[in-house]
Structure 1
């Protein structure tokens, strides 16, 4: 058996057979591979690069449902970026932008970046094609939080949240508008304590009083949702998975430390525990938590002093998988991890 297997692996593909392989069928087959793998094929030769960059191939890819998200991360100084493909269980180092930036939000196949300092510049990018667009400046020059939504026609909106006011960028009109006042119940610096998640046209934020605040970008309506935060929990953050609102946090219970996942049920926002994992190495240490999710996968980044750990939770299989850290150099305890999850897509246009 081993001998026949070896012969199969070293068998030479006959050019007289494969050179006649129909090109339209080739596109159809290639489009069913993970997008990250397809992008790597651009380096094979100029012909493959032209094929993958063609409009017809992009249309094939748009017809194929991509089940796995990608996680885009930056570490410490924002010159160090890495993208994790959970399907291949591999890190990539894409050099997506021509300047230093970190991800703040995402929707569909687009990632929203903040670049330079003092919260002054924003851009939207497709990490797969490396196409990006710098957004014009709006009325709000300094902001606290940002969010992004995308509708079915691939148009997107960006929410810029200041201390007292907010505004919306619309990709259709290509300008900022809807300058409005933030409701009194969520006004003030530090009221919002987590990055945003988006479901359809609605953005969700975690409030410092352990409530969830939402904003509908299509209707302009703000809503505050009361939740009963779990006892002995801390570091609560929001994540999204298959259109469901997930709450992830650190739980101290019976002299043990866990990373715990809850689902906020629709309408009532009642919390239902999904799963938990013991953190033996982090016992009796303050733990910082960042979590992002998409398509049934949650990536949890844990940090305590100079200890880092990344784990992925698969909601469908209820599996916890340790992710090897991508660091190529020494990690300093002051390094921050910023991450977002996006759906790889060749046709998403910023």
Structure 2
């Protein structure tokens, strides 16, 4: 069935037949048809309609730009390969925010901008976001389906005000069952430390993940890959050790994987198309970043060096090198970016992969400070 049907044919078609046709359209086409009328716009909000859709999942993942509170009605959805741009209304989240007052940065010189959102993660059609509550200095974490607008406010971690959320990772186990890992950073006595928490939607509660006793310090980065949560730990000054968390036994397991690193570099675990990468970088000089990509083979525990290269920065990015770059996996590529200033993409499908400049202008201007997340849409992804 094609979307290019003549207007006269649609108008002559009985309403029940039109709805049957809509149920069989690809999700991307169905989403565009939502602009026809209020009834069609409300269809994805109907559980009965969602159960009847033939293609509930989007064919591809997209880059979702999460706007600050007050602008959530116009969050951009971008496909950089097809260079197609659309918009999604996440304003339904604001009704869940009414009981809170959120901390908002107002320093225009801060590259993280005036956004209240401190982190985002997605999996299986669900989006997990964290916002900072000003009056309690607590983090509110929400899990939602952006298409159906189903939304769940998770319990406040430990019910206290300790720490600030540094990172989120969500994993959909099966229908209605998901796990969230949240890393928080706070002060204990006279020193700062990290705590890792995990939320299980079945028990609807958080618990503290035990410290990895092998290391006296906290992990550098964590991510889900193929259903398992992994974390990187620095050993010495030139090696990163990969540990996995056994949820059944509530214990950390040594994977046997060691990733070489450069002292003073920053490192992050990134998943792209079910492949696990370690991306590390350091500021070589005021004009360049030195970036290393290593792929971890979880079956053989081998580490494959993919790329060691320099990225030349645009002038306006040089001030933000040390702390405000991030890396995310998107399809068969990695995207290295700030929230608003610059981005580079490393495409594994090209004959000679290398970091190339990427245009983020479709996602907003240099002052919009959008939080970026890769997301695959699914009408049947459930929030319990």
Cα deviation, residue 343, structure 1: 1.8
Contact 1:105–1:197 under 8 Å retained in 2: no
2:270 is paired with a residue whose SS is strand
Residues 238, 16 of structure 1: CA spacing in aligned structure 2 closer, same or farther, 3 A cutoff? closer
Question: What is the aligned-residue RMSD (CA, Å)?
Answer: 4.0
Structure 2 residue runs of 5 or longer lacking an equivalent are: 98-115, 185-192
**Cα distance in 2 between the residues matched to 1:220 and 1:202:** 13
Contact 1:112–1:122 under 8 Å retained in 2: yes
Comparing 289-298 and 271-280, the one that deviates more: 271-280
Contact 1:212–1:224 under 8 Å retained in 2: yes
Cα deviation, residue 240, structure 1: 0.7
**Cα distance in 2 between the residues matched to 1:293 and 1:224:** 24
**Cα distance in 1 between the residues matched to 2:361 and 2:313:** 16
Contact 1:201–1:218 under 8 Å retained in 2: no
Alignment of 1:228-243 (within 5 A): 228-231=259-262, 234-243=265-274
1:168 is paired with a residue whose SS is strand
Contact 1:204–1:214 under 8 Å retained in 2: yes
Contact 2:267–2:278 under 8 Å retained in 1: yes
Which residue of structure 2 lines up, in the alignment, with residue 331 of structure 1? 367
Which residue of structure 2 lines up, in the alignment, with residue 264 of structure 1? 296
Aligned residues: 327
1:58 is paired with a residue whose SS is helix
- Give yes or no for the alignment of 1:248 onto 2:240: no
Contact 1:102–1:115 under 8 Å retained in 2: yes
**Cα distance in 2 between the residues matched to 1:130 and 1:274:** 39
Cα deviation, residue 221, structure 1: 2.8
**Cα distance in 2 between the residues matched to 1:314 and 1:152:** 30
Q: What is the aligned counterpart of 1:310 among 329, 338, 343?
A: 343
Which residue of structure 2 lines up, in the alignment, with residue 185 of structure 1? 214
2:158 is paired with a residue whose SS is coil
**Cα distance in 1 between the residues matched to 2:295 and 2:156:** 37
Residues 51, 101 of structure 1: CA spacing in aligned structure 2 closer, same or farther, 3 A cutoff? same
Which residue of structure 2 lines up, in the alignment, with residue 45 of structure 1? 37
Cα deviation, residue 134, structure 1: 0.8
Residues 223, 67 of structure 1: CA spacing in aligned structure 2 closer, same or farther, 3 A cutoff? farther
Residues 95, 187 of structure 1: CA spacing in aligned structure 2 closer, same or farther, 3 A cutoff? farther
Please list the CA deviations of residues 234-267 of structure 1 after superposition, one character each: whole Å capped at 9, or x if unmatched.
33222112221112233789x9755443311114
- What is the TM-score with the length of structure 1 in the denominator? 0.74
Residues 131, 250 of structure 1: CA spacing in aligned structure 2 closer, same or farther, 3 A cutoff? same
Q: What is the aligned counterpart of 2:147 among 112, 123, 128?
A: 128
